[in-house]
Structure 1
């Protein structure tokens, strides 16, 4: 089965100021976010990625470009970024453009924290719909890349914090109401492999570490009893 590397965009000017940017145009990476995205690109440079799929919003486009630039010269290196609206940010409706400190005084805030499956943002999207369309987008792309490139295919999806949290919750078999237990930092890497019987989560919210083992990993759908021997990086040439 194919492997998807879930990457959140790097830090933005809105993140740094505590503003809920949502789908607003013109929200770009700040210098810290560019540095984070560059580091993530460096981490992924050792992985032969077959495609980079991104949310169409600017901050994800910028992050995806750092990853794509560092794939140059790799076997099967993608030459363009594909955009998928299914990976775009949640539609926060009337919450978009407001400060988080202000939103925390709203009655809906506590529901977002404790029962997100019951939340529909005023004038926007429900969190259940957000999860459904983002998981569908990941599974659709994953199946297509495996069909085209085989079970060893590794691809990157660049998206947003709540989107990636909802995808990971689905992969863990967690109810959406538990997804706030998951943390996904700027430019972090999480790894999921979808098998015929269940997804396997290999990493969540990592911002350091060698990922070269992804080019030499076991494609078995079975979980190793006892935990197995771990991942092995390919031999140096």
Structure 2
């Protein structure tokens, strides 16, 4: 008998590099701004009302800081995993995002910057993690604190869509997106 697994996808609060318009990718050390902490606290309050039974976060600092707000609001311990990291942009990380529109091939799911990760690779990583989570869920409602492109990949995987059909819109910083999977 199939049973639903509810995922509450929390996008981290605004980071210093979000505010500066820099490509973050998997750069690990970028902290939240003051606004980012306020957004994370708001997401944490919303999350607490949804009663997750487990809290898992990307291991990148901006997500961990957001997850700490969620942990205080829910009373849950935080587990971290690199599986929930943002798409890696390799040599492009730290560069102004506005400079990359002519560099990045946003239409090709197999394009990757040197040392980075393609959308297809991100999609496969997120899909493998969700499959593992479904096989052995820590709770019926699981909060995942993660990143914009990772959330887009999770939504595509759940809908049975490939990396070429990921949603175009990235959730705003400090928002909670509910997703139901059937085990």
Normalising by structure 1, we get a TM-score of: 0.71
CA drift of 1:173 comes to: 2.7
> In the alignment, what sits opposite 2:80?
83
Contact 2:90–2:117 (Cα < 8 Å) also in 1: yes
> In the alignment, what sits opposite 2:61?
58
> In the alignment, what sits opposite 2:31?
28
Contact 1:2–1:143 (Cα < 8 Å) also in 2: no
> In the alignment, what sits opposite 2:133?
141
Residues 131 and 178 of structure 1, relative CA distance in 2, 3 Å threshold: same
Q: Which has the higher contact order (CA 8 A, sep 6+)?
A: 2
> In the alignment, what sits opposite 1:13?
16
1:127 to 119, 125, 129: 119
Cα deviation per residue 1:106-132 (whole Å; 9 max; x = unaligned)?
A: 2xx2x21x23x2212222222211111
**What is the CA–CA distance in structure 2 between the aligned matches of 1:180 and 1:97, rounded to whole Å?**
25
Cα deviation per residue 1:5-45 (whole Å; 9 max; x = unaligned)?
A: 11110111100111012222320110111111101111122
Answer yes or no: is 1:161 the counterpart of 2:148.
yes
Contact 1:56–1:83 (Cα < 8 Å) also in 2: yes
Larger Rg: 1
2:173 to 186, 205, 225: 186
CA drift of 1:178 comes to: 2.7
Residues 105 and 54 of structure 1, relative CA distance in 2, 3 Å threshold: same
**What is the CA–CA distance in structure 1 between the aligned matches of 2:131 and 2:7, rounded to whole Å?**
9
Specify the SS of the correspondent of 2:115: coil
**What is the CA–CA distance in structure 2 between the aligned matches of 1:181 and 1:101, rounded to whole Å?**
17
Give the paired residue count.
180
- Unaligned ranges ≥5, structure 1: 73-77, 197-237
Provide the aligned C-alpha RMSD in A.
1.6
Runs of 4+ in structure 1 displaced over 4 angstroms?
A: none
Contact 1:166–1:176 (Cα < 8 Å) also in 2: yes
